Chain A
Amino acid sequence: GAGVSQTPSNKVTEKGKYVELRCDPISGHTALYWYRQSLGQGPEFLIYFQGTGAADDSGLPNDRFFAVRPEGSVSTLKIQRTERGDSAVYLCASSLHQGRDTEAFFGQGTRLTVV
């Protein structure tokens, strides 16, 4: 596709349930990032992948959060035992390669609401 695609665009789930959020990066982009954005705040770093491996997962808030990118393209962010505090917009971004001089392209996000 032309841009970063995230599905679903909206997800409402009950407290305690498991959810998966999907990110399809721009074709050929090796670096992939997950961010979380709460209302009125900037994106908060969660994890980033270079290829298939998680290069830095220091932003994941706790062990209920996990992300994979098994083939170096599509990534899935998994949240177990969801809590109301997990409600936010989850943004995915990709860039051609890892590097500070490389722009990242963001998807439109998945709005997660935990009720």
Chain B
Amino acid sequence: QQPVQSPQAVILREGEDAVINCSSSKALYSVHWYRQKHGEAPVFLMILLKGGEQKGHEKISASFNEKKQQSSLYLTASQLSYSGTYFCGTEDHGDYKLSFGAGTTVTVRA
């Protein structure tokens, strides 16, 4: 079951903040966040596990609400390099297989 991401797109000025949301209709075991720049491979950002453990980059933060089956990725004090499409991948069967959302395109302007 593919998770739903919102918003579809966001435009920011450097230094502004944004939140990207990822929702699933199923109970989740883990949520993985990736960023993909045009024509490039998706790059790992963060893993959030059932039970609260997180693993990822220091400058990226995220939350995982297990009861609501939702995760949010927080872009704080955005930089030009934050531009790209952000995907959440959710594991909902306990089988290590990820279903990815359609992505949120972030554009950061100077």
Contact = CB atoms under 8 A, between A and B. Distances in A.
Interface of A: 4, 31, 35, 40-45, 48, 56, 58-59, 91, 98-109
Contacts, number: 61
Contacts of A104: 32, 44
A74 B91 CA distance: 25
Interface of B: 2, 29-30, 32, 34, 39-44, 47, 49, 53, 55, 87, 89, 91, 95-103
Nearest to B40: A108
B42 A43 contact: yes
Nearest to B98: A45
A56 B42 contact: no
Contacts of B97: 45, 48, 56, 58-59
Contact of B102 (A42, A99, A101, A109): A42
9 contacts: A4-B41, A31-B96, A45-B97, A100-B91, A101-B49, A101-B55, A103-B32, A105-B44, A108-B40
Given A40-B102, A42-B87, A101-B30, A106 B42 contact: yes
B102 A100 contact: no
Contact of B47 (A44, A101, A108): A101
B96 A44 contact: no
A103 B98 CA distance: 12
